[in-house]
Copies of this chain bind each other. A is one copy, B any other.
Amino acid sequence: MTYCCGILVRGGLVMIADTRTNAGLDNISTFRKLHVFEQPGERVMMLATAGNLSVTQGAVTLLAEGLENPETHEIERLVDAPGMLEAAQLVGRAVRRSHAMAGEGAEDSGVSFDVSLLFGGQIGSGPLRLFMVYTAGNFIECTQDTPYLQIGEHKYGKPILDRAVSFDTDVLDALKIGLISMDSTIRSNLSVGLPVDIALLRRDTLRTDVSTRIDGSDPYFRDLRESWSRALRAAHIAIPAPPYGGAR
């Protein structure tokens, strides 16, 4: 499995993705699932993928190398899209195309070829946007009401996002909360694992502020994990014992 989240706040966009893939429990590998398409000063687009790896890799390749528009017969690449909406539509078409290519054998195999993607970024003077793209190529857009989107094993890491993130959260705090959400998922689900790729794009800068990989030896992430565990322990110890029932 996979866990990725994207957080869109006033100050910018954060994307976080783990790197664990598995074909069965006994075939576990590390693959990059967070892809950054950047032309500094012009556009930054980030793509995080979950689901069938052959379909998502195929889609990423199509987006980089170009796929033919069935109406205009032009070859379209992500780096040529005039705006984020057109780029999201292109991501949807690439997913559909890649799914169709992989999907001929899908029904026979019993394997799920479903995927989901987070796609966010900013092009020129257009708005900073974040989308979730489904297997069918359709997508939804992140809004201020719920300033995050998740794909993959999203449940373990959702409570902290629900409680801690709002559109006015500082963008570095959003990254921090996203890392806590990722840590909660990694601890409770073997199919999500380190290293973690992170990217941060501040609004209207058109160049990534952060684009790096965090592994188990990263001192900040190690401190964050320990601090968070300690704080959770302290938090539940500080709550008084339940008043129900007889004397202790």
Partner-B contacts on A (CB < 8 A): 153, 155-156, 158-160, 162-164, 170, 172-173, 175-177, 179-180, 184, 187-189, 198, 200, 209-210, 212, 220, 223-224, 227-229, 231-236, 238-246, 248
Give the residues in chain B near A234, CB-CB below 8 Å.
Answer: 231, 235
Identical subunits present: 2
Q: CA A5 – CA B103 in complex, angstroms?
A: 39
Give the residues in chain B near A220, CB-CB below 8 Å.
Answer: 240, 242-244
Give the residues in chain B near A187, CB-CB below 8 Å.
Answer: 159, 162-163
One of B188, B235, B243 near A155 (C-beta < 8 A): B188
Known: A156-B158, A172-B242. A164 touches B200 (CB 8 A): no
Known: A239-B224, A242-B179. A232 touches B156 (CB 8 A): no
Let me know if A235 and B235 touch, CB within 8 A.
yes
Let me know if A244 and B163 touch, CB within 8 A.
no
A207 to chain B, nearest CB (A): 9
Let me know if B235 and A228 touch, CB within 8 A.
yes
A201 to chain B, nearest CB (A): 10
Q: Which residue of B lies closest to A161 (CB)?
A: B188
Give the residues in chain B near A243, CB-CB below 8 Å.
Answer: 220
Let me know if A188 and B159 touch, CB within 8 A.
yes
Q: CA A188 – CA B244 in complex, angstroms?
A: 26
A118 to chain B, nearest CB (A): 19
Known: A212-B244, A231-B238, A243-B220. A159 touches B184 (CB 8 A): yes
Let me know if A176 and B209 touch, CB within 8 A.
no
Known: A156-B155, A227-B238, A235-B231. A245 touches B200 (CB 8 A): yes
Q: Which residue of B lies closest to A189 (CB)?
A: B155
Give the residues in chain B near A179, CB-CB below 8 Å.
Answer: 242
Give the residues in chain B near A162, CB-CB below 8 Å.
Answer: 187-188
For the complex of A and B, the 3 pairs showing the least CB-CB separation, nearest first, are A231-B235, A155-B155, A210-B245
A181 to chain B, nearest CB (A): 10
Q: CA A231 – CA B235 in complex, angstroms?
A: 6
Can you identify 19 A-B contacts, CB atoms within 8 angstroms?
A155-B155, A155-B188, A155-B189, A156-B158, A158-B188, A159-B184, A162-B187, A163-B233, A164-B233, A164-B236, A172-B241, A176-B241, A180-B239, A209-B246, A210-B242, A220-B244, A223-B239, A228-B239, A235-B235
